[in-house]
Chain A
Amino acid sequence: MSAIATGERERRSVFLALVRFRELSIIIFILLLIAVVAANAPAFLTAPNFRNILLNISILTIVALGQTMVIITRGIDLSVSAMIGLVAMMVSFTVVAFPAVPPALAMLLGILLGGILGSFNGLIITAGKVPPIIATLGTLSIYRGMVFLYSGGTWINSFEMPAGYRALAKAAPLGVANIILFAAVVAIAVYFFLNHTRPGRDIYAVGSNPEAARVSGIPVQRTLFMVYVISGLLAGMAAVLWASRFESAQTNTALGFELQTVAAAVVGGVNIFGGSGTVPGVILGAFLLGTIENALILVRISPFWQLAAQGLLILVAVVVDSAIRHRLQQIGGSGELS
């Protein structure tokens, strides 16, 4: 239409740019939340509290990034929590039995064991053609059962663990706690991998249109196998950090954590039907969940209300996100969204 004024057209292109900037709605939501909480709790907007939030979301971010890669391929990995529980138990048993094992080796062992568990998932899904939600629902039960089989119901306490192992997550030789550095390195590596390497781009291609990806020569099965192995590797790393940070390995370590990782990814704008999702979005998603948890404590909401408020805020975040995107889409014309 020639009647559209230049100003109008410019405004449209600005909105289109906003639509493309998928993390916008979650940033708005985080800022709103911060404003409300800061007005009610002075301790909220302080550097130590910010550091506290980062400490709390590090493990979540690491596992959620693996989960994200799986979800982009239209899959889901429900077994991450059980992998964390099993690897945390096996590595902790090993370092307690052999205190001479250096923490770095313990970390490598955890990553290796997690990768093997992840490769079982990948094998069942690619070679066995079992739908991912069913395969990982099955391995969720199997791996969690194996924690009991392995430990015989016993657990590892803080005082049994070697000091180096306990310090692995919390020590801060570079000024920031190691656990935050691990999360930052993983985030940068995953960002680079997803955006600037061929296997990383293949993940999006497989998720957007598996058939088209296959026809254009992308190794679909290998890519699928790979994302489950990566999810396992990251869960293995998270397991060692978990055992080190909380100084214990129990049979119910990380029970129910799988749904939190899915929540962080989804709140961070990862499309549950595959094909899209970004690293900054997932970090923001994990940050939002961490901020909600932190805020509820600072505003002195009864602990019995916390889970309900968390669930409600996840719902609100998802509904608001969807509403904002729809609205932007309407104003901006036919911006492609999903």
Chain B
Amino acid sequence: MTAAPGERNGTMPPERKRLSLDFFLRWEWLLAALIAAVIFVNAQLSPFFLSTRNLMRATSDFMEMGLMILPMAFIIITANIDLSVASTLAMSASLLGWLHIQGVNIWIAAAAALLLGLLAGGLNGLLVARARLPALVVTLGTFAFYRGLAFVLLGDQAARGYPASFTFLGQGTVGAIRLPFSAVLFIFFAIVFGLVLHKTTFGRYLYAIGNNEEATRYAGVPVARIKLIIFMLSGFMSALAGIVIAARFGSTRPDVGTGLELAVITATVLGGINIFGGSGTMIGAFLALILIGLMRFGMGLVNVQGQVQSIAIGLLLIFSILVPNVARQLSRRGVAVRRGAVLAAMAMLALAAFFIWFFFWSRVPILNQ
């Protein structure tokens, strides 16, 4: 939100001259290198890491997130955002569960859940595209509204007892390596979304809208309709993720997926998709999902709590953008530093040191009780 022109999340090469280097300086290569490093470190730390069976089982934990990352990439490339994805997931899964409790056939219930997802995305899209309200504000409202409707549908009960043919969607595996069915679903949609983004006019329009919406509109591109479509896609994919998560757990509660929207946005941005719109690739988003999945899986194997794992994900998100930015600034300006900057840096270091000392010192008396 404070983007100086030309500054881009570290996804854009700083100069156009070094074309041969550009290919290797791409964000995707950095992600690939990080993935290799994570695999190497984890394989050293735990003998269970490189077991295909474990890896495949861990994969299914991240597929709902993956399904929602795909449309989120579209939305963020157009410089919009969708905070309501996890709430849409919960609302659709709750409708599925509620219909199942009423005795409706599970596949009809699933179809209804997908339709509800489309409608939910459609409402977001209408308010953003037609009423011209900021996406952040609209989806903040529907974030509460859709989650609320999930509670209206199921209240304090949980829907359970889904037939085995349905739970296959979340628990079933394919082939000798036991590839989860949800992963097959995700890979299929990842290819479709990737082709649409990189090989179709529609995909080019998304970048155009993200770079300069006004100019794109004057060029005769139906901007409002495209925005409506991508928000409906987001609703649809969130509903699909809701169905998969219901099938994986074998039950549905209205609080399912709470907070998942921030995880989805984190992965999308880590994938090199510019939060200000206009750049990013589907391969980057795909690699970011794999990176986050492997990191969490590896930390879980060495008994790091889930909540503490999120420290590592947060640090990764910040440093992945901070390090290239700082490196570029240093190389551009040289190392000539002002005295004021040195004093400020020392003050910050002192504050950080105090905080760290107090953090570890003040917890001791209570934890020793």
Residues of A within 8 A of B (CB): 73-76, 78, 90, 93-94, 96-98, 113, 116-117, 119-120, 123-125, 127-135, 137-142, 144-154, 156, 210-211, 224, 251, 255-256, 259, 262-263, 266, 272-274, 302, 304-312, 314-315, 318-319, 322
Contact = CB atoms under 8 A, between A and B. Distances in A.
B355 interface: yes
Given A133-B1, A145-B314, A322-B131, 16 more contacts: A73-B2, A90-B363, A97-B365, A116-B351, A123-B348, A130-B325, A134-B9, A137-B262, A142-B318, A153-B305, A154-B367, A224-B2, A256-B259, A266-B140, A307-B148, A311-B142
A311 B359 contact: no
Secondary structure class of chain A's binding surface, majority of residues: helix
Contact of B140 (A134, A156, A259): A259
Nearest to A273: B134
B315 interface: yes
A141 B317 contact: yes
Interface string B117-130: 00000000001000
Closest 8 CB pairs of A and B: A308-B148, A311-B145, A311-B144, A141-B314, A307-B148, A145-B311, A97-B365, A128-B322
Contacts of A266: 137, 140
B83 A308 contact: no
Contact of B310 (A113, A116, A141, A312): A141
Interface in B179-233: none
A76 B141 contact: no
Choose among A90, A94, A138 the residue with the greatest number of B CB atoms under 10 Å from its CB: A138
Contacts of A149: 308, 311
B368 to A, nearest CB: 10
A320 B314 CA distance: 37
B137 A318 contact: yes
Contacts of A132: 1-2
A150 B83 CA distance: 29
Given A90-B358, A305-B148, A135 B141 contact: no
Contacts of B83: 259
Nearest to A316: B141
A128 B325 contact: yes
B352 A120 contact: yes
Contact of B314 (A139, A302, A318, A319): A139
B327 to A, nearest CB: 11
A238 B136 CA distance: 25
Nearest to A303: B151
8 contacts: A116-B354, A141-B313, A302-B152, A305-B148, A307-B151, A308-B144, A308-B149, A311-B142
B308 A150 contact: no
A314 B141 contact: yes
Interface residues of B, number: 65
A130 B1 contact: no
B314 A152 contact: no
Contacts of B152: 302, 304-305, 308
Given A137-B262, A137-B317, A145-B307, A131 B3 contact: yes
B253 interface: no
A125 B148 contact: no
B1 A93 contact: no
Contacts of A113: 355, 358
B146 A311 contact: yes
Given A116-B354, A259-B83, A148 B308 contact: yes
A134 B358 contact: no
B329 interface: yes
A156 to B, nearest CB: 8
B133 interface: yes
Nearest to B83: A259
Contacts of A259: 83, 140, 143-144
Contacts of A262: 136, 140
Interface of B: 1-4, 7, 9, 83, 127, 131-134, 136-138, 140-149, 151-152, 155-156, 258-259, 262, 265-266, 269, 275-276, 305, 307-311, 313-315, 317-318, 321-322, 325-326, 329, 348, 351-352, 354-355, 358-359, 362-363, 365-367
A259 to B, nearest CB: 6
Contact of A141 (B1, B145, B311): B311
B137 A138 contact: no
B134 A311 contact: no
Given A128-B326, A315-B127, A308 B318 contact: no
Q: Which of A96, A120, A134, A148 has its CB near the most chain B CB atoms (within 10 A)?
A: A134
A93 B365 CA distance: 8
B148 A145 contact: no
A312 B137 CA distance: 12
Contacts of B367: 152, 154
Given A129-B329, A131-B1, A141-B313, A304 B348 contact: no
Given A131-B2, A145-B311, A273-B134, A314 B148 contact: no
Contacts of A311: 141-148
Given A134-B317, A141-B266, A315 B2 contact: no
A208 to B, nearest CB: 13
Contacts of A224: 2
B359 A90 contact: yes
A94 B358 CA distance: 10
Given A259-B143, A274-B1, A306-B148, A90 B362 contact: yes
Contacts of B311: 141-142, 145-146, 149
Contacts of B140: 259, 262-263, 266, 314
Contacts of A135: 318
Contacts of B321: 128, 130-131, 134
A144 B307 CA distance: 8
A262 B143 CA distance: 13
A303 B260 CA distance: 23
B144 A307 contact: yes
Contacts of B155: 304
A35 to B, nearest CB: 23
A297 B336 CA distance: 61
